[in-house]
Structures are given as C-alpha cells and as structure tokens.
Amino acid sequence: MVFKKLRQAMGIGGPSIETILHDPNTMPGGVVTGEITIIGGQYNSDIKSVNLALRTRVEVESGDNEYTSNLEYAKMPVAGSFSLQEGARHSVPFQMPIPWEAPLTHMYGHPLHGTTVGIATELEVAGALDPGDLDPIAVHPLPAQERILAAFSNLGFQFRNADCEKGRIWGVHQELPFYQEIEFYPPGQYARGIKQLEVTFVSYPQSMEVVLELDKRGGVFTEGHDAFSRFTVDYATVEHTNWEQQLDGFLQEAGRRRGFF
C-alpha cells in the first residue's frame, strides 16, 4: 500500500492518494488488480488524469559511460478528468496488464537480486503532475521459464546477479526497449572456458526466445570474448524435452564454435 501527501506538486493541503494492490504476485502476461483512492485536501481540486505505469531500473550505455536510470513503460490511464471536493473520496478499481517481456523479480521462490519492478500511480491536478511513489510487485517465472532455470540449476550453474539493460537484441522481436540478463557462475565442467553465463528471456503469448551469452575466460596471452546461442521454447511442448541435455548441447556447440573448450 502507498499513502502519499502530494505536497511538492500541489502544496500543503492538496489531495492525497492511496494505492492498494489486491495481490502483488504476478508473472509475465498476467494482471495486477487493485484500487486507487484519491482523497480531497483542504480545498476543491480539478483532477486532470490518473495513470498507472510500470517502472524498472535499467543500465544505460552511452559511449564509454554507463549509468542506471528508472525506466517507465506500459503506462495506462485509469481515470480522466473529474472534480474532487474538499475532503471527498474518489475510488477507482484497476486491472494492470503485465507485459509478456516483463523482467523477473523472483527465481526459485526467492527475490532475484538486482531487479525490481514497481507500479507508480501518477496524479495530474490542474497542470501539476506528481510522478507518484513505487509500489513493488513480484514477477515470478512462467512455467517454461521456470523449467529452463531449473535445468541450469540441475547442471550446476549458480545464480550470480540480474540486471536490465536498455537496448535491443539483434534478430529478436521486442516490444519493450530493454531486456533482462540473469547471470550465472558456471560449474566445473564449463568453468575452464566460461567465466559466466548470461540468460535472457524474451517472452510471447505462445512461446519465448532464450538467448545465451557465454563470457569467455581470458588467459595470460588470450583475451576474453563472448559467444551467443539462441533458441525458441514452445510453452505447449516444454515438458517434452530433456532441457538439461539440450542446454548442455547448446553450450558445448557455442563454446566449440568460438574455441572456448
């Protein structure tokens, strides 16, 4: 729940807003429901609009520099203009669709260190826009994503970190202007050639693209570099595949092509 006095945008005595999420747990392609209540302040107010938006912290590369930024996406109008009397309450229920490409915040039932997703409630009053606080939500893996992640765990890969990067993956259709990388330490059988593995899911309603980036371990006289592998997973048939065997094959093939092993 978020309860906030909009002092900076509208001044002391202005309206306040309360956002309640019925359940913050969701998954890509899901829906988060809740209710927004706008409470009149010490004077009448003309509300111009009430909007919801998702926000995620992303890494941005600009030339030789890199910085983090709060990126807003999937913005949705909840209410248009209306008059709010002094002390009055105006409640609006909402259903917020979660994009199929939304980054995961949880894995193996635990928070995924490095990634957060939140819903911001934005209130515009008489030309003044308050960007709102962030109400965190928990984005859990789709069953197909969970199966792939479990296969990596069964192969011995250990979670390292996760982050979101602004940009697009070559050859992959994306709706969102960023993608998530889930980083793993490799087990012994891969560690001699791979420094770390980065996994990216780009999900759609019926299937998903899985992009693997292998970061080569550099030696005394050799420079490290990356190799990529990409494959499609169909949700309807994901359980018919031995993913431990399949992923090992993808990794071995990608590594051999670039001389990792």
Note down pLDDT in tens along the chain; length 261 residues: 444 444 334 556 778 888 899 999 999 999 999 999 888 888 888 888 899 999 999 999 877 788 899 999 999 999 888 888 888 898 999 999 999 999 999 998 899 999 999 999 988 887 666 666 789 999 999 999 999 999 999 999 999 999 999 999 989 999 999 999 999 999 988 887 788 999 999 999 999 999 999 886 543 333 344 567 899 999 999 999 999 999 999 888 877 776 655
Terminal CA-CA length for the chain: 51
C-alpha to C-alpha distance for 165 and 159, rounded to whole angstroms: 18
C-alpha to C-alpha distance for 17 and 40, rounded to whole angstroms: 9
At residue 151, the pLDDT reads 97
At residue 206, the pLDDT reads 98
Q: What is the pTM of this model?
A: 0.88
Give the angle 89-91-96 at the CA atoms, nearest 5°: 150
- Check residue 13 and give left, alpha or beta (phi > 0: left; psi -120 to 50: alpha): left
At residue 84, the pLDDT reads 85
C-alpha to C-alpha distance for 179 and 28, rounded to whole angstroms: 13
Which option is the CATH number for 2-139: 1.10.10.10, 1.10.8.100, 2.60.40.640, 3.20.20.70?
2.60.40.640
At residue 10, the pLDDT reads 56
Element (H, E) at 212: strand 207-216
C-alpha to C-alpha distance for 28 and 85, rounded to whole angstroms: 39
At residue 46, the pLDDT reads 86
At residue 4, the pLDDT reads 44
Enumerate the CATH 2.60.40.640 domain ranges in the chain, comma separated. Answer: 2-139
**Residues near 33 by Cβ (< 8 Å), separated by ≥ 6?**
21, 22, 23, 93, 94, 95, 96
At residue 193, the pLDDT reads 77
At residue 253, the pLDDT reads 81
Token pair recorded at residue 78: 């909840």
